Amino acid sequence: MDIILASGSPRRRELLSRAQLEFTVISVDIDETPYQDESPKDYILRMVAAKAEAATKQLNIVLKDIGADVSDASESLILLTSDTIGVLPDGKTVLVKPNNREDACHMWQQMSDSTHEVWTAVQATQLSLPSKHPSEFDTEQVWKIINQQQIIERTEVTFIALTKEMMSEYWDSGEPTDKAGGYGIQGLGAAWVSRINGSYTNVVGLPLAQTLALIKEMTNTATL
């Protein structure tokens, strides 16, 4: 069964490649602004569902535009979407990608000399093609969703005490801008991490072992 990773993250692509998994990548663009008073769980599950919906629409448009015959396409595929956030000890405050230096420093001050959590949600969506030629459809819906599963992995991350100079130098490195919580444990941000409890790859952006198990489970279910 073909696998599509709907993510622009090079870190997620690298992690899946390490597992020698064959997959195709597409990028999706959605509004990632948290709702007011939205819980971390509700937010992160909404994100992976919204990414899956956006990716499915892209696949529908591509298939209809090229007029491809379904006999030339895979009859089913697994669409993977993922989202990573930081969560402060209050269990309510969501840390996403920083908007600017001030935003990043505000997040780091809250994480300094304390333990926060990194959450990654992964959604696997199994899509199948109908028996008709795509051009015969009056609607934009070509791929049909036949199965969806979601998981959330949590990892505790403890930071050392951070100084203003450390935060300023890190922001100037350019690394924090596209990362949840404003740091990359696989990069320069590793110097701030005194310990972790849980999956390392989860902090990078994709809990690899858990994601592979999810793919296997969905693949096995599809063959029953």
- Tracing tokens 């008709």 back to the chain, one arrives at 132
State the virtual CA torsion across 32, 33, 39, 45 in degrees, nearest 10: -20
Active-site residue 83, yes or no?
yes
Task: Give the count of alpha carbons within 13 A of 177, CB side only.
Answer: 5
Q: What share of the chain is helix, strand, coil (3-state, %, to 5)?
A: 40, 25, 30
8 A C-beta contact, residue 51 and residue 6: yes
Size (the chain), residues: 224
Strand-pair category, 76-87 with 115-128: antiparallel
Question: Could you give the CA distance from residue 191 to residue 160 in angstroms, rounded to a whole number?
Answer: 9
Handedness of CA 80, 83, 84, 88 (dihedral sign): negative
Which of 2, 72, 83, 90 is catalytic? The answer is 83
CA–centroid distance for 117 within its chain: 16
Point out the residues that are catalytic. 83
